[in-house]
Amino acid sequence: MTARHLIPLLAGSAIVLANQAFGADDDTVQRGAYLARAGDCVACHTAPGGKPFAGGLPIESPFGTIYSTNITPDKKAGIGNYSEAEFAAALRQGERADGANLYPAMPYPSYAKLTDDDVHALYVYFMQSVKPVAEQPPETDLGFPFNQRWGISAWNWLFADADTFQPNASYDQLTDRGRYLVEGLGHCGSCHTPRGFAEQEKALDGDSEDYLAGANLNGWWAPSLRGGDDGDGRGIEGWDSQAIVDYLKTGRNAHATVGGEMTSVVANSTTHLTDKDLMGIAQYLKSLSANPAGDGATTADQRQQATDETAAHLQAAKNLSDGERLYIDNCAACHLDDGNGAERVFPPINGNSLANADDPTGLIHTILAGAKPPATPTIPAQLPMPGFGWRLSDDEVATLATFVRGAWGNDGGAVTADQVAKVRASIDDAPLDKAVDPNGELNHDDGESHAANGAQ
């Protein structure tokens, strides 16, 4: 599930509270607004170009298209008649006010961890500060048997964890807070944890080594978030906590620039979290033991040596392969001969998780359509990568991508022209990348975004 195809991007916004009808105390409303950011409610509950929280986002699942619902406090179209207990049941048990089960496209298996206090603050925020919108989103209508919502009870019984968060004294307070945010509101596992035979996340918390071990999201690899230093040092295993904080805050750091569905997570959610909460998240991820290094895993020294060799060969520019020539002609000006780019301007593609992912879809997508990092309050300017789909054929992209995945310290597999053709065909229905401001207005950016159309 949770293949979120059409995700509105946010061009940075402050939380300004409007519409305080019944004068609940401001602190609770503000806390609820912050928690709604941490839970990224707006990303799923807003249709492209639609009103914030009014629902209607189509979410592709293996069972068909599921539409998010209107969670504004409108009494007919939204959740205006939900009591706090009903709201809590929807969030933590996936139970609608009329008793029907919600589809797990709503991340209640993660939100089950929420404390009563936080559910209360969210409820106050939604009821008192979100503007009611009287618009009915399209009904979800899955075919039989998936339209039988009672069937979800068995799934819940097997896979959903009803326990609320229990503090764990073996973590310091900040790291434990990070654990709460990651496992609970952040629902990071809904994209980063591999799924089992019934589309369930294989684990919902750090007690299992499957948790956050990396997963394929419609082809785009959501890398492992297990940051321990006991693996081969790739991905966030090689990042320090501050680098994780920078990535979540600004969408970039010395190792990577955000792409794919993570762009919306950064823009709508993590960039709005406090540095302290982000540090808690980072420390928690670093506390998770690394994925076991596979056979043939390389060491950092070996990868450095391979990097030097590729860079020297590109510089000498003699006897170049087709892939090497394509790289020099199209990519090296920005990502350089060593594939390491220039810090915070051009991300490294040497050692980069996207370049090395088992499934090359994300890399192909980036080469064809380009990419644009999100504007965040701390770094509003965005230097996009241009797309090369208009000038490179499927064969050329395949040859180039194969080179990139095997160059320097990388060890991804070869790419075929067929794979490129498939990704190229999917890019035509490029999503809108307009922003959502939960306070009501759509944020119109500078229009430059269309250069990167489909990057998301």
Using CB under 6 A, which residues numbered 207 to 226 contact ligand HEC?
A: 217, 220, 222-223, 225
> Whole-angstrom Cα distance, residue 309 to residue 350?
13
Q: Closer CB to ligand HEC, residue 222 or residue 442?
A: 222
Report the nearest approach of ligand HEC to the CB of residue 16 (Å).
19
Is residue 261 at the binding interface for ligand HEC, with CB under 6 A as the rule?
A: yes
Asked if the peptide bond before residue 145 counts as cis, ω within 30 degrees of 0, the response is: yes
Of 405, 392, 306, which is closest to residue 353 (Cα–Cα)?
A: 405
Is residue 56 at the binding interface for ligand HEC, with CB under 6 A as the rule?
A: no
> Whole-angstrom Cα distance, residue 378 to residue 176?
26
Among 32, 73, 235, 454, binds ligand HEC (CB under 6 A): 235
Q: Closer CB to ligand HEC, residue 214 or residue 442?
A: 214
* Burial letters 387-412, b for 16+ CB under 10 A, else e: bbbeebebebbbbbbbbbbbbbbbbb
Among 271, 310, 353, 356, binds ligand HEC (CB under 6 A): 353
Give Cβ neighbours of residue 110 (< 8 Å, ≥ 6 apart): 183, 184, 185, 186, 187, 189, 190, 204
Is residue 259 at the binding interface for ligand HEC, with CB under 6 A as the rule?
A: yes
From the centroid of its chain, how far is CA 438? Answer: 19
Of 362, 374, 337, 341, which is closest to residue 252 (Cα–Cα)?
A: 374
Binding window for ligand HEC (CB under 6 A); candidates: 25-33, 385-393, 430-438, 443-451: 385-393
- List, in sequence order, every residue forming a beta bridge with 217; answer none if it has no partner: 220
Is residue 430 at the binding interface for ligand HEC, with CB under 6 A as the rule?
A: no
Q: Mask: binding to ligand HEC, 146-185, rule CB under 6 A, as x and -? A: ------------------------------------x---
Report the nearest approach of ligand HEC to the CB of residue 346 (Å).
5
Q: Closer CB to ligand HEC, residue 197 or residue 390?
A: 390
> Whole-angstrom Cα distance, residue 257 to residue 267?
13
- 126 phi and psi angles, rounded to 5 deg: -65, -40
Of 210, 195, 214, which is closest to residue 1 (Cα–Cα)?
A: 195
Is residue 59 at the binding interface for ligand HEC, with CB under 6 A as the rule?
A: yes
> Whole-angstrom Cα distance, residue 88 to residue 96?
10
Is residue 366 at the binding interface for ligand HEC, with CB under 6 A as the rule?
A: yes
Among 9, 11, 54, 71, binds ligand HEC (CB under 6 A): 71
Site for ligand HEC, residues 272 to 301, rule: CB under 6 A: 281
Among 9, 29, 88, 102, binds ligand HEC (CB under 6 A): 102
Is residue 186 at the binding interface for ligand HEC, with CB under 6 A as the rule?
A: yes
Is residue 376 at the binding interface for ligand HEC, with CB under 6 A as the rule?
A: no
Among 113, 179, 192, 286, binds ligand HEC (CB under 6 A): 192
Among 9, 29, 47, 105, binds ligand HEC (CB under 6 A): 105
Residue 35 is encoded by which pair of tokens? 């928690």
Is residue 338 at the binding interface for ligand HEC, with CB under 6 A as the rule?
A: no
Total chain residues near ligand HEC (CB under 6 A): 78
Among 169, 333, 381, 425, binds ligand HEC (CB under 6 A): 333
Task: Identify the three-state secondary structure at position 313.
Answer: helix
Among 140, 241, 287, 426, binds ligand HEC (CB under 6 A): 140
Binding window for ligand HEC (CB under 6 A); candidates: 159-167, 197-205, 345-353, 443-451: 345-353
Is residue 9 at the binding interface for ligand HEC, with CB under 6 A as the rule?
A: no
Q: Closer CB to ligand HEC, residue 73 or residue 442?
A: 73
Report the nearest approach of ligand HEC to the CB of residue 128 (Å).
14
- Tell me the torsion sign for CA atoms 243, 244, 247, 250: negative
Report the nearest approach of ligand HEC to the CB of residue 388 (Å).
5
Among 267, 288, 306, 363, binds ligand HEC (CB under 6 A): 363
Residue with tokens 């639609």, as numbered in its chain: 50
Among 244, 369, 407, 436, binds ligand HEC (CB under 6 A): 244
Q: Where are the alpha helices (DSSP H) in 69-113?
A: 84-93, 108-111
Residue 446 is encoded by which pair of tokens? 């500078």
How many Cα atoms sit within 13 Å of 75 on the Cβ side? 0
From the centroid of its chain, how far is CA 450? Answer: 21
Among 349, 407, 435, 442, binds ligand HEC (CB under 6 A): 349
- List, in sequence order, every residue forming a beta bridge with 371; answer none if it has no partner: 385
Among 260, 323, 412, 438, binds ligand HEC (CB under 6 A): 260
Site for ligand HEC, residues 24 to 43, rule: CB under 6 A: 36, 39-41, 43
Answer yes or no: are the C-beta atoms of 9 and 431 closer than 8 Å: no
Of 18, 238, 44, which is closest to residue 130 (Cα–Cα)?
A: 18
User: Cα dist. 88→92, 370, 387 in Å?
Assistant: 6, 41, 45
Is residue 347 at the binding interface for ligand HEC, with CB under 6 A as the rule?
A: yes
